[in-house]
Structure 1
Amino acid sequence: MRALLVILHRYVGLAIAGFLVIAGLTGSIVAFQSELDAWLNPSLFHIERTGQSLSPSRLAKAIEHADPAVEIFTLVFPSAPGESAQAFVGSRGGDTALAYDQLFVDPGTGAILGRRMNGVFGLDRLRLIPFLYRLHSSLTMPGNWGAWLMGGIALAWMFDCFAGFALTLPRGRPFWKKWKLAWTIKRGAGPYRLNLDLHRACGLWLLAILFLLALSGVSLNLNSELFRPVLSALLPTSPRIWDQPAPPTAPPMTLDWNDALAKAKGEAARRHWDHPVAMIYAARAQGFYGIRFGRPHQAGFGASTIFVSAADGHILSVEEAGAGKAGDMIAGLMLPVHSGQVAGLPGRILICVTGLVVAMLSITGVYIWWRKRASRSSRRRANRRPAAIARSGALDAAQ
């Protein structure tokens, strides 16, 4: 069994090492993406004046008046005075391609502060952080291919965590005394031993976090394909509004942004929610609005969402953070766990550091494999040399 685990850990680790280096390094940055993006682009994220913000409908009209070719899908509201609002847009009717899909807006006047295409390649300050986020989540591959690939890597990483843990368990006695060595890093050791200790000890100390990162990665990238079906088979889980197929033709959006917000706020007040509105998005193909309540980087289960019919304004569904059935609560925890927001700022710092450790574990794993392979090759060459000499001597004697 141990020999099989060695082979699995070795070759699964080698196969996913490069991807984990990318995911780990970019994940360390993504843990603070909003702060870093605002620091790099202050003219987009900050405004000098503060005052009354426009209503969502007036803000949407101001944006669409500035560029009639756009259709707004999401409005993101400022979380504090002096911050800009954001809008994510698409081409009205889908006929013409836009050079941007994200706008930054003065929430008090509707003036456009800037535009960009979110997630496209770019190392300049405008595009860097969104590009790194997309690289982290999907390797910038088109469609769902990148998400599926990273989800498969996360799944392999989950099982590799178990294999790596099992290989640290000593085979002889005294068990605890021998196993204690696996948790430590020997001082003054040579390069090979240092890499081995770093790989083994850091993997053990952060095993729970590494496993949760892998599990939540599966959830975020293979949610409907794998995570949700397995979760629903194991635990009671409520159906989601997104599980319903979209109608053959997009329903008319009778309600405007203000009406949808008013309906959602009424439902939130009935449930005694005290969180501010973070964003509104229009699911035009399905015919409803989603209104998300919560503060940025809020510790705990994350944001809650109320879904309002765009046809008649009735409440279609409510996804309350930390509520619902057991499966709902676990599913709702996946994003806060993956981002570290479940524990607030300390959790995000931990995820940032863990991302660097993930990259280190991958690099040290490859180094350990390379050293062992070089050592085995050297031994084989050494074993073949006496045999070759013997054969040469036998030939000489025969001649």
Structure 2
Amino acid sequence: MITNRRHRRQHWLRIHSILALSVGLLFVLTGFTGSLNLIGPELDRWLNPELTVIPRPGAGLSPDQLMASVKSAHPRRFGAWRLQFPESPASPAIVWYDKPIETSEEPYAPLMVAIDPYTGEILANRFWGHTLASWVHRLHSQWLLGGFGRTLVGLTGLVLLASLVTGLRLWLPARRRLRRALTVKPRAGFKRRIFDLHRVAGIYGLPILMTAVLTGLHLAFPSLLTTVTGTSDFGHHEAPDAEEIAASSAVSDTPLNLAQAILMARGLFPNAIVDSVTTPRASNGMYRVDFRRPGEHHALTAVWVDPYSGQIRQSRNSANFSRGQRFVNAIRPLHNGSLLGVTGRILGFLAGFLPLALYLTGMVHWLHKRRIDVVRYCPRLPPEWVRLWRRHWPELKGLLSALARAVAAQIAHVASVLFRRMLELWAERQRRRTPSQD
């Protein structure tokens, strides 16, 4: 009986080791880039100081003035523009143009025009995917390989899920050893300490890692869950059914401007926050105004306004979503941690380094076991080398200790700065939110 149990454990251990050795580095890459994604806006502003806006008294320029400034800088770009309003008083407004000629060969690389909402000054003209923050996002979600890369990321997620399941199976202890399996043994040797760190980091981080993997599978294969639930995912500013609505024939010589279209749409949702407004794609197109209702993490409510008659041609109210629709649209905020607020973002950021910790401790443990098996074949070092090592080891140890302390201090400083910045952004967002519901 004991022999069979030992053989089964060896079988699970072999599967777990093969999976970790084959895709472990991809797990580390995905986790690290996921942590960087959570601080993408802050990282972008830190690397590009010109994007920082100096807040001024007053409400700033109107949407039509901002759009006029952008179109005067890009007079040959026709079609729809989407004006995304600033997230905070120190952030610029971003105007998106989906199909620039410069990146027509790329699957998705819209033009992003950053504009000062108080002066109308163009701060930057950039393409999505060509900035560091968006490049990291592409690396995390598709490994820079487009749709094929997204499929590979999803398949790798399935392998990582199997690795987590096998790790959990190997961790399961007997009832009398549960406490021992949840702690690191004090005053243990190096081998035992590494093994305990790997086991404890894995079991405590398992809920977060499983959540990240399962939600990531939906983001890699979105049609699977939406087909099962019979719903749609509106997390990417998509509404294919409503975009094809044609405006009525012109009944006015002067169509509505952006401010008037926003005013007409706001009548349906007076307490919601205007997230963005999109201009008509053609002469028979529609204005689209996207709202973020209190408690929502991205814009799910939208209104389509006829630019000639001013009529509301269609609306989408997130309060009327079914349970399946709410579940599907909650997956993305759950994946990046924003569903749980600042606490979720901090946990998500730290969880991105768990794969690195698991990979390093697991690899050290695996190499240590392999080294024990072949220790009798290891050649002996020359005595001169041993004496030289012993003579200079104290100086080398002091140098390595000083270097480790300096690196730890820098990491702690960067982490504290990022933590304070995240708290400030969260406080600003909470102050801007309206407590009442529509």
- The TM-score with structure 1 as length reference comes to 0.75
1:294 partnered with 2:295:
no
State the secondary structure of the residue aligned to 2:123: strand
Q: Structure 1 CA distance, aligned partners of 2:239 and 2:118? A: 37
What corresponds to 1:177 in structure 2?
A: 176
Per-residue CA deviation, residues 249-281 of structure 1 (Å, 9 max, x unaligned), is 996798764455334322223xxxx34212235
Give the letter for the 2:300 counterpart. S
Q: Structure 2 matches for 1:18-37, cutoff 5 A?
A: 18-37=25-44
Instruction: Give 1:279's match in structure 2, choosing from 273, 276, 279.
Output: 276
CA distance in 1, matches of 2:305, 2:137: 31
Is 1:145 paired with 2:148?
A: yes
Displacement of 1:182 in angstroms is: 2.0
1:79-98 paired onto structure 2 within 5 Å: 79-91=87-99
1:160 equivalent to 2:163? Answer yes
Following TM superposition, by how much is the alpha carbon of 1:206 offset from its aligned partner in structure 2, in angstroms? 1.9
Q: Which amino acid aligns with 1:202?
A: A
1:39 aligned partner: 46
Q: Supply the distance in 2 between the matched residues of 1:283 and 1:15 (Cα, whole angstroms).
A: 49
Write out aligned runs for 1:2-17 (5 A). Answer: 2=9, 4-17=11-24
Contact 2:232 2:325 in 1 (8 A): no
Amino acid at match of 1:161: L
Q: Does 1:352 align with 2:349?
A: yes
How many corresponding residue pairs? 356
Identity of aligned residues (%): 30
Unmatched segments (≥5 aa) in structure 2: 1-7, 249-254, 379-438
Distance, in Å, in 2 between the alignment partners of 1:239 and 1:100 is 23
Is the Cα–Cα contact under 8 Å of residues 199 and 365 in structure 1 kept in the other structure? yes
Question: Are positions 1:306 and 2:297 aligned together?
Answer: no
Match of 1:62 in 2: 69
Look up the equivalent residue of 2:353 and give its one-letter code: L
d(CA) in 2 for partners of 1:155 and 1:148? 11
1:111 aligns with 2:121: yes
92 and 119 in structure 1: CA distance in 2 versus 1, 3 angstrom threshold:
closer
Q: CA deviation at 1:85?
A: 0.7
For residues 257-311 of structure 1, what are the alpha-carbon distances to aligned partners after superposition, in whole Å with 9 as ceiling and x for unaligned? 4455334322223xxxx3421223569599666543339xx86665432152668
Q: Is 2:263 aligned against 1:262?
A: yes
Q: Retained in 1: the 8 A contact 2:232–2:328?
A: no
C-alpha change, 1:315 and 1:35, in structure 2 (3 Å) is farther
Pairwise mapping of residues 209-288 of structure 1 onto structure 2 (< 5 A)? 209-224=208-223, 226-230=224-228, 232=229, 237-239=230-232, 257-258=258-259, 260-269=261-270, 274-281=271-278, 284=281
C-alpha distance after superposition, 1:101-153 (max 9, x if no partner): 21110123422111222322xxxxxx333322222222222x31222222222
Counterparts of 1:183-194 in structure 2, within 5 Å, are 183-194=182-193
Contact 1:87–1:102 (Cα < 8 Å) also in 2: yes
Shift of 1:67: 1.4
CA distance in 1, matches of 2:13, 2:165: 12
Is 1:50–1:81's contact at 8 Å kept on the other side of the alignment?
A: no
**C-alpha distance in 1, partners of 2:14/2:50?**
53
Q: Which amino acid aligns with 2:62?
A: S
Map of 1:396 onto structure 2: none
Query: What's the TM-score, normalizing by structure 2?
Result: 0.69
Residue type of the alignment partner of 1:182 = A
Cα–Cα, structure 1 residues 93 and 129, in superposed 2: closer, same or farther, change >3 Å?
closer
Q: Does the 8 Å contact 2:265/2:312 carry over to 1? A: no
RMSD between superposed Cα atoms in Å: 3.7
Determine helix, strand or coil for the equivalent of 1:70.
Answer: coil
Q: Aligned partner of 1:52: which letter?
A: A
Give the distance between the partners of 2:241 and 2:90, measured in 1 at CA: 40
Change (3 A) 1:45 1:281: farther
- CA distance in 2 between counterparts of 1:244 and 1:85 reads 25
Offset at residue 344 of structure 1 (A)? 1.2
| CA distance in structure 2 between the aligned counterparts of 1:13 and 1:315, rounded to whole angstroms | 53
- Deviations along 1:296-337, whole A, 9 cap, x unmatched? xx866654321526687545452527x622222221221111
Instruction: Find the partner of 2:322 among 312, 315, 325.
Output: 325
Does residue 342 of the first structure (1) align with residue 339 of the second (2)?
A: yes
- Specify the SS of the correspondent of 2:353: helix
Cα deviation, residue 211, structure 1 = 0.8
Instruction: Determine if contact 1:17/1:366 at 8 Å carries over to the other structure.
Output: no
* Residue identity opposite 2:356 in structure 1: A
Contact 1:309–1:316, Cα closer than 8 Å, also in 2: yes
User: Matched residues in 1 for 2:299 and 2:15: separation?
Assistant: 39
> How big is the shift at 1:245?
7.0
Matched position secondary structure for 1:113:
strand
